[in-house]
């Protein structure tokens, strides 16, 4: 019984860890057509993600497979030959940790 209680407490402690927190960025509200405007004009999220991928690449960030997660830009970046998931703020293009 004690072991079970310890496992539950350990699991809860892990869930509360800031390292496991999901990033959160401001997200524009969709219009009546389901389009968003991140500053490029009304577009689908897929179109906006492609525009942000181009911007990140222009900043020297080798982004690919870009999409949105909790309002943040979620993309994959090659680092030392490996794909690493990274998050960026759509307003500033700064990495979100």
Q: Is residue 25 part of a domain?
A: yes
Domain of 60, in residue numbers: 21-96
Q: Is residue 13 part of a domain?
A: no
Q: Is residue 77 part of a domain?
A: yes
Q: Is residue 79 part of a domain?
A: yes
List CB contacts of 73: < 8 A, sequence separation 6 or more.
25, 49, 52, 56, 66, 87, 88, 89, 90, 93
Q: Is the pTM for the entire model greater than 0.85? A: no
Cβ-contact 46, 27 below 8 angstroms: no
pLDDT of amino acid 3: 55
pLDDT of amino acid 23: 75
Q: Is residue 74 part of a domain?
A: yes
Q: How many domains does the chain have?
A: 1
Across the range 56-60, mean pLDDT stands at 96
pLDDT of amino acid 2: 60
Q: Distance from first CA to last CA of the chain, Å, rounded? A: 37
pLDDT tens digit sequence for 42-56? 999 999 999 999 999
In the predicted structure, residue 18 carries a pLDDT above the cut 70? no
Cβ-contact 76, 57 below 8 angstroms: no
């Amino acid at each position: 019984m004690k072991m079970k209680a310890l496992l539950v407490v350990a699991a809860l402690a892990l869930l509360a860890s800031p390292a496991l927190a999901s990033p959160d960025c401001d997200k524009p509200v969709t219009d009546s057509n389901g389009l968003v405007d991140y500053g490029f004009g009304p577009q689908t999220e897929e179109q906006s993600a492609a525009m942000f991928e181009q911007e990140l690449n222009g900043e020297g960030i080798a982004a690919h497979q870009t999409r949105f997660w909790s309002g943040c830009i979620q993309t994959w970046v090659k680092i030392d030959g490996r794909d690493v998931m990274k998050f960026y703020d759509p307003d500033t293009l700064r990495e979100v940790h």
